[in-house]
């Protein structure tokens, strides 16, 4: 492949969640050509191969992968960019072996900010954080950069007329995604005799006891109608039928769901914490954030009533204009290429 850059890109995960979607969008939009390492037989590998643009190299063994990369770094001056923090121990080792090479480590998860993982980083490792929330949890001596993920506005969608008020929870139904808070909220709404439709979009991990119990409770409600849709890939299908999205994870770094919701014209409610709080403040939609106190479920009900009575059309449009301006894909590509070049 001709004119390929000296920046090597590694994706630890081959799924197609937020981080892989961002990497895919970056590679699709970039005018440069990259050597990209992805897990063998992964969704990301398949999608990148179909693009037929970059040099895609698959791996099954991490030790063999990083041995191969060590040989490449020995033979030529290259920059290594890893789009998630999961491979940090390999990056730290290579950075010590090759002090004259540049390493860029993207940190997206709160778990990857802990001192035990990031201690003793060499000066040739640059940390890039997906949000200010993540950067604030990293030792300042490492001078972490903040580069928000890009987001392109979708085509406007038409909302079908419906008598029900429908609330969406988008993401895996699992304890780490705010399951405890979701259960607390739904029990409160049921006791308040709210006639609402609740739709969960995402795989339901019923092999976990707390998830199984949660599903059982939901199916016994008399006033709420709870539907578990499973994973749905069609974003238009998800958002066109929703009046509101609720996202109750307090520690997610920069959840794509929060951007998607506003971009598709649906208000999003979440706690004033973590990435949801950061995104809503950035989009000037702080009035839809919940204070973390014993009264938060009542706050949700008040916001539901407010949206029912006066749908926030102007607020949604203003949020969309901010997304278009601040999270432009071309700006992101230019900024990331400047960092990893």
Q: pLDDT digit string (tens) for 25-56?
A: 999 999 999 999 999 999 999 999 999 999 99
Rounded CA-CA distance 273/318 in Å is 22
- What per-residue confidence (pLDDT) applies to 163? 85
For the chain, give percent helix, strand, coil, nearest 5. 45, 20, 35
As a whole number, the mean pLDDT across the chain is: 95
Return the number of other C-beta atoms located less than 10 Å from residue 262's C-beta.
26
- What per-residue confidence (pLDDT) applies to 93? 97
Q: What is the DSSP letter of 192?
A: T
Centroid of chain to Cα 71? 33
b/e 8-47 (16+ beta carbons within 10 angstroms → b): bbbbbbbebebbbbbbbbbbeebeebbbbbbbeebbbbeb
Rounded CA-CA distance 164/166 in Å is 6
Tell me which H or E stretch contains 326: helix 313-326
Rounded CA-CA distance 134/132 in Å is 5
Rounded CA-CA distance 122/108 in Å is 20
- What per-residue confidence (pLDDT) applies to 288? 98
| 3-state secondary structure at position 14 | coil
- What per-residue confidence (pLDDT) applies to 159? 75
Residues with Cβ < 8 Å from 209, sequence gap 6 or more?
Answer: none
User: How far is CA 292 from each of CA 49, 163, 172, rounded to the nearest angstrom?
Assistant: 45, 32, 23
pLDDT surpassing 70 at residue 172: yes
Return the number of other C-beta atoms located less than 10 Å from residue 5's C-beta.
17
- What per-residue confidence (pLDDT) applies to 238? 95
What residue ranges define each of the domains in the chain, with the CATH number in brackets? 4-147 (3.40.50.2000), 166-325 (3.40.50.2000)
């Amino acid at each position: 492949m001709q004119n390929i850059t000296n920046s090597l890109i590694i994706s630890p995960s081959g799924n197609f969640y937020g981080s892989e979607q961002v990497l895919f969008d970056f590679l699709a939009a970039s005018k440069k050509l990259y050597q990209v390492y992805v897990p063998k037989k992964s969704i990301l590998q398949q999608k990148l191969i179909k693009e037929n643009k970059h040099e895609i190299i698959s791996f099954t063994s991490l030790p063999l992968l990083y041995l191969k990369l060590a040989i490449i770094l020995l033979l030529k001056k290259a920059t290594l960019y890893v789009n998630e923090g999961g491979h940090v121990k390999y990056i730290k080792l290579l950075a010590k072996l090759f002090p004259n090479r540049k390493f860029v480590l993207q940190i997206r998860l709160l778990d990857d900010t802990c001192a035990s993982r990031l201690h003793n980083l060499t000066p040739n490792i640059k940390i890039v954080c997906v949000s200010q929330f993540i950067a604030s949890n990293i030792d300042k001596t490492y001078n972490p950069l903040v580069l928000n993920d890009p987001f392109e506005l979708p085509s406007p969608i038409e909302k079908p007329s419906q008598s029900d008020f429908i609330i969406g929870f988008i993401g895996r139904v699992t304890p780490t995604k705010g399951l405890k808070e979701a259960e607390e909220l739904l029990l409160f709404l049921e006791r308040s005799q709210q006639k609402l439709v609740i739709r969960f979009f995402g795989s339901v991990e019923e092999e976990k006891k707390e998830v199984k119990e949660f599903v059982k409770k939901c199916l016994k409600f008399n006033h709420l109608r709870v539907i578990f849709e499973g994973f749905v890939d069609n974003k238009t299908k998800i958002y066109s039928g929703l009046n509101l999205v609720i996202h109750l994870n307090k520690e997610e770094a920069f959840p794509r769901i929060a951007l998607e919701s506003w971009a598709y014209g649906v208000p999003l409610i979440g706690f004033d914490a973590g990435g949801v709080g950061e995104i809503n403040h950035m989009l000037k939609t702080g009035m839809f954030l919940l204070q973390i106190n014993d009264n938060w479920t009542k706050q949700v009900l008040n916001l539901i009533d407010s949206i029912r009575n006066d749908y926030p059309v102007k607020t949604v449009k203003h949020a969309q204009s901010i997304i278009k301006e601040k999270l432009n894909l071309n700006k992101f590509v230019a900024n990331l290429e400047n960092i990893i070049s």
